[in-house]
Structure 1
Amino acid sequence: MMVEHDPEIQVTNTEELARDLLVIPNNNVPLVPNVGIIGGTHSVLVVETGLGPSNAKTVLDFATEYAKGRQLYLTTTHFHPEHAFGAHTFAEQATFLINQAQADDLKTKGPAYLEMFKALGAPVARRLENTVVPEPDLTYDHTHDLDLGGRVVHLRATGRAHSKGDQVIRVPDADVLFTGDLVETGQFAIFPWFPPHDTDVSGTRWLTVMQNLAETAPRTVVPGHGDIGDTNLLTDVRDYLHTLRDETWKRRDSAMSEETIIEEVSALLITQYPTWTAQEWIEKGISCLCSEHPTP
């Protein structure tokens, strides 16, 4: 995939989801995440940085002005470059807090992902100039409740799914959930399945995570990319992953070749979800699930 557009964050059309809770939307621009700004009486939490230092500076400048002297925190939903590879720009101005599994991903896989993304095209390479793979200031293992003053935000590591280090961020008083790339609106789930170099994504674990998240039924869901929605975004991804798994395994267990499985299941899913974009990720999902088996 070569990228010809500039993955630039624009802060001109922020959306207010609740009191002191904003989203800088990605405007459906590829490689631009939805960015959250969550405020309390004494602190403000930023969710995602955008791709590279210049996008991160745009987010930091906006958050600093919005905070009006309140302490800044930063978190990211997972280690992929458009979500986390601007965190170094926040150094000494915000406390970077993430789950330990995501920190491990940054350390072990960050440099390779930086080079891989630079190869996606000149606009991406320009955005990644002078990028430093970040290190967190604080980490937690499984759960962390961050007190912003009159508002407590729940940071929760989900375990392996889209990546090894996925994290969701919930704002209970506003009933808002930030999912990162566990959820995209109107798009087939992104499976970064690139054996032998990267096989951390798990379709079976991802399905379990989505089943658990869907049961919580949040009022508002902020996906990694695409339009903000409600709990139906969670059930849509859950149902898609369920169908992807079942249709793949049914054919695999009948000794069908992977090439034929990809052909048949892709056609079925495109028919079932005719308006969804990024069809190229269906094949990756099928290949991933062909390698997985039910948990005993």
Structure 2
Amino acid sequence: MTDIPLPDPAVRVAGAQEIAPDLLVIPNHRAGLVPNIGVVGGTKAVLVVETGIGVANAEQVLAFAAEVAKGRRLYLTTTHFHPEHAGGAQVFAGEATYLVNRAQADDLRTKGPGYLEMFRGFGGAIARRLDGVHVPTPDVVYDDGYDLELGGRTVRLRPTGRGHTKGDQVIEVPDAGVLFTGDLAETGQFAIFPWFPPHDTDVSGVRWLAVMDRLAATGPRVVVPGHGDIGGREILTTVRDYLRELRDETWLRRASAMPGPEILTEVRALLLERHPTWTGREWIAPGITCLCTEQPT
């Protein structure tokens, strides 16, 4: 862990932005361990996308969504199981119907407790945020996708297959051209590779790249990344291009029988030179190490 106290991952609902009619995003303002959170409305119901980390954040999000809903039914979904995205879902129990894809439900059950303990190990404000948090139990679990009718607006919940996690899903709002990606895409930072062998090796650079190819081909008008600034399709192509760059530079050196430590040193230095303003430098090395274990599909 780190000896440097990490900032408090506080959700700021006062900064919500309407990016389409009856579709708001609570932006993360580039704060660490704070996701972009969506509130998507129809005439009959409202869907919340992500909870923030911990009870207090989720209570703020729920109160905000209830005010927006004004009596409309509430739903909740999360893009994947990591605690800053789903670590407040228990607050919504009895207030909203919680829907997730089956692979994410499996991740919550099998890996959720371990990730909560890992995040508590960061100490300080993060550990305090996780006081009393437990792994949530979804109300509805689906396999191949779920079309959620909100009243005059259908939202598509779509599992993507293995990428950042085994259970990633994206949320599409077709009438507004909006796509919520979770941590499949970020802006202004290196892709997050949760490569923690032997405990978690589900992240796949190869499959993640294939997911980004498919998502970029859909051509959304607005992309809401897991973390960072909202933008357009270029968010998807930038992540896709970075993952391709990471793969190609790593595999080029692996093919020449370069030792692993040298691959890591050379590729990391090259990527830092090419992307000097990006944050999340700590994720370069896990990405290289992950791809060193993978083969073309």
1:193 equivalent to 2:195? Answer yes
Report the equivalent of 1:101.
103
CA distance in 2, matches of 1:164, 1:142: 14
Residue 191 of structure 1 and its aligned partner are, at CA, apart by 0.2
SS class of match (2:171): strand
The residue aligned with 1:113 is: 115
Distance 2:241 2:276 in 1: 15
Q: Secondary structure of 2:75's match?
A: strand
Output aligned runs, 1:273-292, within 5 Å. Answer: 273-292=275-294
* Offset at residue 274 of structure 1 (A): 1.4
Match of 2:51 in 1: 49
What amino acid is the match of 1:177? L
Q: 2:210 aligns to what?
A: 208
Task: Determine the structure 2 residue equivalent to 1:235.
Answer: 237
State the distance in 2 between where 1:130 and 1:143 align: 31
2:243 aligned with 1:266: no
Measured after TM superposition, the shift of residue 4 of structure 1 is: 2.2
Secondary structure in 1 aligned to 2:263? helix
CA distance in 2, matches of 1:34, 1:249: 33
The aligned residue for residue 162 of structure 2 is 160
Residue 208 of structure 2 aligns to a residue whose secondary structure is helix
Mapped to 1, the partners of 2:258 and 2:137 lie a distance apart of 45
**Offset, 1:119:** 0.4
Work out the CA distance in 2 between the residues paired with 1:263 and 1:132. Answer: 39
Using structure 1 for the length normalisation, give the TM-score: 0.99
For residues 166-190 of structure 1, the C-alpha deviation after alignment (integer angstroms, 9 at most, x for no partner) is 0000000000000000001100000
Partner of 2:226: 224
Aligned residue among 166, 184, 187 for 2:186: 184
Paired residue total: 295
Please give the TM-score of this superposition, normalised by the length of structure 2.
Answer: 0.98
List structure 1 runs of 4+ shifted beyond 3 angstroms. none
- Among candidates 117, 124, 127, match of residue 125 of structure 1: 127
| Aligned partner of residue 139 in structure 1, secondary structure | strand
Tell me the secondary structure at the aligned position of residue 285 of structure 1.
Answer: helix
Give the match for residue 81 of structure 1: 83
Letter in 2 for 1:214: A
CA distance in 2, matches of 1:5, 1:282: 22
Counterpart in the other structure of 1:62: 64
Specify the code of the residue in structure 1 equivalent to 2:87: F
Distance 1:174 1:269 in 2: 35
Give structure 2 stretches of 5+ with no counterpart: none
- What code does the residue aligned with 2:175 have? D
Render the CA deviation track for 1:168-226: whole Å, top value 9, x for unaligned: 00000000000000001100000000111110100000000000000111110000001
Name the structure 1 match of 2:139.
137
CA distance in 1, matches of 2:197, 2:14: 40
Q: Secondary structure at the match of 1:108?
A: helix
What is the deviation of 1:122?
Answer: 1.3
Cα distance in structure 1, aligned partners of 2:209 and 2:151 = 34
SS at match of 1:50: coil
Identity of aligned residues (%): 66
Query: Which of residues 252, 273, 276 is equivalent to 2:254?
Result: 252
TM-superposed CA distance for 1:121, in Å, is: 1.8
The reply to whether residue 71 of structure 1 matches residue 70 of structure 2 is no
Query: SS of the counterpart of 2:13?
Result: coil
Deviations 1:135-178 (A, max 9, x none): 10001112111000000001000001000000000000000000
Tell me how far apart the structure 2 counterparts of residues 68 and 56 of structure 1 sit (CA, whole Å): 18
Letter in 2 for 1:145: D
Read off the aligned partner of 2:237 and give its amino acid letter: T
Q: Residues of 2 paired with 1:57 and 1:219: CA distance?
A: 30
